[in-house]
Amino acid sequence: MPDLKVCVVVPTYNERENVGALVERIRGTGSGEADIMFVDDSSPDGTAEAVREMMREDPRLHLLVRGSKKGIGGAYIDGFREALRTLGPDVLVQIDADLQHPPAVIPLLVGSLSSGAGAAIASRYVRGGGSKGWSMSRRLVSRVANSYARTLLRLPVKDCTSGFRAMTRQSATRLVDSRLPARGFEFQVASVYVLKTGVKILEVPFIFEPRRIGSSKLGLPDVLRFMAAVLRLAIRPPRTPPA
Ligand code: GDD
Ligand code: MN
């Protein structure tokens, strides 16, 4: 779908060493024309500076800086709002900065929306999907978190915590308008909860790669916050604006 305007939104916290390779891979694997919006929470390692450096050469790179580390969920909401307001994309893509999400899958996610779906999720838990180089414990935590959220919130997808997705402008607008109380990693499941009424959600298999540079920001406190947040969402469901 060459005439679709795509904006890739990338939350970053201490990803200075990854942003260059990410942009290269996005440009080199079928999304050459896409806008890329970084949402950086004033990373102490100077990620924003590295992005600004690249912006001098590439007018389709954009940067939204927030004052302090405020969570991946809020970064997506703020990035979507800014992208919708300033760039007018047809499709918004969510991807991590650390190359654990292979950019070559972006065209498949975007392309699958042509079937009329409102969102496409890159999934580890459908046939052909998986994750490389994970310890048993990380595997278990991911499986448990997934089943827990899927069951409690009745989510119609296998990989509801995946942070690699594409969605239509309409779906992204609904997420921004729904004022989701989901600032952290629970954003991934809360957004599926909002979108499941009204639109079709597809899953496309992908392999979650090991992180090569930098470290994960998802620690035990985040997992516990995630569990509590899902419980709160189940007890007090967020408002779901009409599709
Ligand atoms: N702006 C901003 N603010 N970005 C953040 C923050 C934050 O507070 N926390 C994390 N990020 C960015 C990271 O810099 C990275 O680009 C992306 O969000 C994902 O963070 P990671 O720390 O790499 O997460 P992960 O690899 O442990 O978890 C991934 O897999 C999970 C499923 O297993 C993410 O994709 C999760 O969303 C997903 O649920
Ligand atoms: Mn990661």
Output the 3-class SS for 26-42.
Answer: HHHCCCCCCEEEEEECC
- Domain hosting 14: range is 6-235
**Averaged over 173-182, what is the pLDDT?**
91
Would residue 242 count as lying in a domain?
Answer: no
pLDDT of 1 above 70: no
> Pocket around ligand 1: residues whose beta carbon is below 6 Å from it?
11-13, 15, 39-41, 69-72, 75, 96-98, 100, 142, 161, 163, 185, 188, 216-218
Instruction: Report pLDDT digits (tens) over 160-173.
Output: 999 999 999 999 99
User: What is the predicted pLDDT for the residue at 242?
Assistant: 77
Do 79 and 51 form a contact (C-beta atoms < 8 A)?
A: no
Element housing 8 (H / E): strand 6-12
Q: What is the CA radius of gyration of the chain?
A: 17
Q: Give the pair of three-digit tokens for residue 28.
A: 């080199």
**Averaged over 59-77, what is the pLDDT?**
97
**What CATH number does the domain containing 98 carry?**
3.90.550.10
pLDDT of 145 above 70: yes
**Averaged over 58-74, what is the pLDDT?**
97
- Give, using CA atoms, the residue closest to atom 19 of ligand 1: 96
**Averaged over 82-88, what is the pLDDT?**
98
Would residue 64 count as lying in a domain?
Answer: yes
Would residue 243 count as lying in a domain?
Answer: no
Band of residue 2 on the pLDDT scale cut at 50, 70, 90 = low
pLDDT of 144 above 90: yes
Q: Report the candidate in 118, 199, 108, 196 with the shortest Cα–Cα distance to residue 157.
A: 196
Would residue 240 count as lying in a domain?
Answer: no
- State the total domains in the chain: 1
Mean pLDDT rounded to a whole number for the chain: 95
Would residue 137 count as lying in a domain?
Answer: yes
Would residue 1 count as lying in a domain?
Answer: no
User: What is the predicted pLDDT for the residue at 122?
Assistant: 98
CA of 70, closest atom in ligand 1: 8
How large a percentage of the chain has pLDDT more than 90?
88
Would residue 214 count as lying in a domain?
Answer: yes
**Averaged over 167-187, what is the pLDDT?**
94
**Averaged over 99-114, what is the pLDDT?**
97
